[in-house]
Structure 1
Amino acid sequence: MKLAGLKSVDNAHEESIWACTWVPPTQARPSLLLTGSLDETVKLWSSDELKLERTNTGHCLGVVSVAAHPSGIIAASASLDCFVRVFDVDTNATIASLEAPPSEVWQMQFHPEGHTLAVAGGGSASVKLWDTASWKLIATLSIPRPEVPKPSDKNSSKKFVLSVAWSPDGKRLACGSMDGTISVFDVTRAKFLHHLEGHFMPVRSLVYSPIDHRVLFSASDDAHVHMYDAEGKSLITAMSGHTSWVLSVAASPDGSAIATGSSDRTVRLWDLSMRAAVQTMSNHSDQVWGVAFRPQEGSTDRVGRLVSVSDDKSISLYDYS
């Protein structure tokens, strides 16, 4: 497996780009790239040329997270202005505005079937679940404290929830906290199951393997990437290679690799059979906040793509083969 640089767009936004995701294709158009920036805008880009299709405004502070519905018809952006804006991808019409108290809107992700939006609740130490038909809040999954408090648990801000990920079957939800713990929930029963231990610094990004719903990957400020058996509560392996915070992790559609972005300004490709980094890309001149593999478009799609976004305001697109 290998990455090859295809295209970079400098000054893609006016400020740092903190979030990216792929919008699935519809019958009317191919997939699109969605980026969110501290410049308060969300932008949509053509999938292969990275040609700017549209700039969406609507937030009054920086955008920290973006998520795309599996239908490809709607998407959501979360901002430091305490709102999640849900919008129609093709018209930019606002479908819903979800309000939260200050510092309670961070990463978010749609359920694989699209009926629920999970939003990491920041300072509320919880994950909020929103019904995507009514846009009503349907559940709050609160993180219990570990039975044996860590020395760092003197204040509740350590339970600040930064990241969230659905399992491919939609039955489990994992969230990563500022203190390094990862909490796993049974969503159908709205029940906390267990913590996954091993990190001692913020867990900024999580992703499940697309081919094994037990396997969860985490990216942490401790410069490590962990691979867990999320059901068996065990750490499978800890992978090192980055020299600073790991800010984002994404899994390839075939499940054989993951990619990570770091404040060491690099993107790394990891071979999961070797459990090691096999390639380092240094396209960016500042920390890399987001990486995302493009989902495969049908069984005939053999063209792999990876994208990365950075504090340097640029987007880089790579061929993944």
Structure 2
Amino acid sequence: MGNNRNHPLRVLHSEYEARLKSPEALKSPRLTTNSAQSTSNAENCAQRQQPDTRPIVTSPTMKTLANLAPRRSKCIYSDRFIPTRLGASMATGYDLLTAPPSKRAQTQAPCHVPTTTGKHRDAMCRLLQSEFLGMPLTQTSCHSEYLFHSSTKRSRTRNLFRFQVPGHGTSELPHHPLQRAKQLRIAAQPTAKERKIAKVPFKILDAPALQDDFYVNVVDWSAWNVLAVGLGAAVYLWSACTSKVTKLCDFSPFDTVASVTWTQRGSQLLAVGTNSGLVQIWDTVECKLVRTMLGHLERVGTLAWSSQLLATGSRDKTICLRDIRIPADLTSKLQGHSQELCGLKWSFDDQQLASGGNDNNLLIWNCHAPHPLARFTDHTAAVKALAWSPHTPGLIASGGGTADRCIRFWNTLQGTPLHAVDTGSQVCNLLWSKNSNEVVSTHGYSLNQVIVWKYPTMQKVATLTGHTYRVLYLSMSPDGQTIVTGAGDETLRFWNAFPTVPQTSSLLFPSGGHIR
């Protein structure tokens, strides 16, 4: 190799030595005048602008060395940020939106983001994310209470203001046939429709002599689909199955009906409270009186059955607990209100009794204690409307009169108030749906409305109008779908207010068709 004068490396060395020995390379820079310096600069610029005509060495050895050198992957860089969907990491961006908050983010002020409901909104949200963000189509919900908070760790080695276009897999493209097939499958899935409540009643019954009195309760619907109504001094039964009307009893001319209520289970017994303070138990099948009970000095305007006891509330400010299975029916008398009793309701487990009075107080009782467990005094008017939640133990709703106009929610297990809603008018009655987590309220002066609320947001599902007087009476059908309202306009109106019971099946409790 040393004797080969034509070797490529020797050619390179010889050319390099020739350049060093040239007269132009041996010249040293000298200080010149401004004109000379400008002339030299102009000549140098002209020389730099001329193309290089020197031959390029393309020896086999140099080509081999170039091929052996490692090559870096070609990336597209730019010195400015131009928003483009191809240059954005959509998966990482979505992770930043939906990631749970870090410790630093938790110290910041919370971000209130409006939420939407409904499976169809979730499906639409997923489709929009797939179309515009290029994200994989999944069945996850779009809701996130940690929206706009990020805990994703970012790379510290990435240079600032250098942006690179990442590669995309074929199946990740939003318009790829596989992605379009997923979108079509999601769009074809059945979605829950928004429930619509008819604004007009499907049935109206005349109820002559129906009292326009805030302190009486003379309408109740039994578990056997029979409606009991007190009209003046008489009690009438209306069968929802056959539309047959039966007169049960008549207290004229010396007394009038102040309250009626059905037993929850067992025999078809109806308790009737009168204006004189009597309480009677009637067998509605035989249409005969079972027994008459004393204990109150004034009218009995509210009644409530538990599985074993009957609670009666009177204008004499007392509550009597009665057991009709024993001869001496009066078991205890509760005193805690300073004015007339307006409402009584047992909890679904029969452990607590709620009482509302004209003294603006709501009291919670235990049938084994003579004193109330809790006393709530937030209302500023009479408390007649009471409703226990069938979905949450210890949750009760109460409504105030004209001066209060509020629906308030309470936790009776802890004895604490939860929240309140100003309805804008007198609250006469409350009922909790058995089929959904919704509450229906009836109102008096000045709107005379029937309102269905979604709990716990207390958004109005529907507002029903039609009564010309305050809606003082409210009851629910056995299937939980229909409600009946009564008012001083002497009409009973029937509304389809709540959905049907959702059909559920499990391995532990199979339906009858699966039992062999």
- TM-score bucket (shorter structure): 0.7 to 0.9
Instruction: Quickly say closer, same or farther: Cα 1:48–1:229, change in 2 above 3 A.
Output: farther
Q: Return 5+ residue gaps in structure 2 as ranges.
A: 1-194, 500-516
AA aligned opposite 1:171:
Q
Quote the residue 2:300 is aligned against.
105
Partner of residue 19 from structure 1, selected from 218, 225, 238:
218
CA contact (8 A) 1:239 1:276 kept: no
Supply the distance in 1 between the matched residues of 2:484 and 2:436 (Cα, whole angstroms): 17
Deviations 1:88-107 (A, max 9, x none): 12222011112344425121
1:7 to 195, 200, 203: 203
Aligned to 2:427: 246
Match of 1:147 in 2: none
Q: 1:15 to 1:172 in 2, by over 3 A?
A: closer
Distance 1:19 1:238 in 2: 28
The SS at the match of 1:107 is strand
Alpha-carbon distance between aligned partners in 1 of 2:210 and 2:340, rounded to the nearest angstrom: 25
Return closer, same or farther for 1:287/1:45 CA change in 2, 3 Å cut-off.
same
Paired letter, 1:118: A
> 1:305 corresponds to which residue?
482
Structure 1 residue 227: Cα displacement: 1.3
Looking at secondary structure, tell me which structure has more helix per residue.
2
The residue identity in structure 1 corresponding to 2:312 is V
Picking from 260, 263, 273, the partner of 1:78 is: 273
Using the alignment, how far apart are the partners of 2:376 and 2:211 within structure 1?
31
Q: Distance in 1 between matches of 2:436 and 2:370?
A: 28
Q: Distance in 2 between matches of 1:255 and 1:180?
A: 29
Assess, with a 3 A threshold, how the Cα gap between structure 1 residues 78 and 34 changes in structure 2: closer, same or farther.
Answer: same
Distance 1:32 1:311 in 2: 22
Instruction: Indicate the structure whose relative CO is greater, using CA pairs within 8 Å and at least 6 residues apart.
Output: 1
- Within 1, Cα distance between the matches of 2:473 and 2:418? 24
2:413 paired residue number? 231
Q: Deviation of residue 190 (structure 1)? A: 4.3
CA distance in 2, matches of 1:225, 1:13: 30
Whole-Å separation in 2 of the counterparts to 1:276 and 1:19: 30
TM-score, length basis structure 1: 0.84
- CA distance in 2 between counterparts of 1:97 and 1:292 reads 25
3-state DSSP class of the match of 1:57? strand
* Structure-2 residue corresponding to 1:117: 310
> What is the Cα deviation at residue 212 of structure 1?
2.0
Question: For residues 275-299 of structure 1, what are the alpha-carbon distances to aligned partners after superposition, in whole Å with 9 as ceiling and x for unaligned?
Answer: 1333221121111111112233xxx
RMSD, aligned CA: 2.1
Structure 2 residue corresponding to 1:96, chosen from 248, 271, 291: 291
Mapped partners of 1:179, 1:310: distance in 2: 24
SS in 2 for 1:192: coil
Counterpart position of 1:47: 240
Unaligned 5+ segments in structure 1 are 26-30, 145-155, 297-302
CA contact 1:172–1:184 (8 Å) conserved in 2: yes
Q: Residue 373 of structure 2 aligns to a residue in which SS?
A: strand
The number of equivalent residue pairs is 290
Q: Where is the strand percentage greater, Structure 1 or Structure 2? A: 1
Query: Are residues 94 and 40 of structure 1, via their aligned partners in 2, closer, same or farther at CA, if it must alter by over 3 Å?
Result: same
Q: Distance in 1 between matches of 2:485 and 2:363?
A: 27
Conservation of the 8 A alpha-carbon contact between 1:175 and 1:183: yes
Letter in 2 for 1:307: V
The match for 2:250 among 49, 58, 61 is 58
Structure 1 residues 13, 171: closer, same or farther in 2, change over 3 A? same
Whether 1:287 and 2:470 are equivalent positions in the alignment is yes
Please tell me whether the aligned partners of residues 19 and 289 of structure 1 are also in contact (alpha carbons under 8 angstroms): no
CA deviation digits over 1:239-278, x for unaligned, max 9?
Answer: 22242x2111111113511111221322111111321333
Deviation at 1:139, TM superposition (A): 0.7
CA contact (8 A) 2:248 2:284 kept: no
Cα pair distance change 1:20/1:242, threshold 3 Å: farther
Of stretches 273-282 and 88-97 in structure 1, the one that deviates more from structure 2 is: 273-282
User: Is contact 1:196–1:230 with CA below 8 Å preserved after alignment?
Assistant: no
Aligned-pair CA distance for 1:64 = 2.2
Contact kept, 8 Å, 1:43 with 1:55, in 2: the verdict is: yes
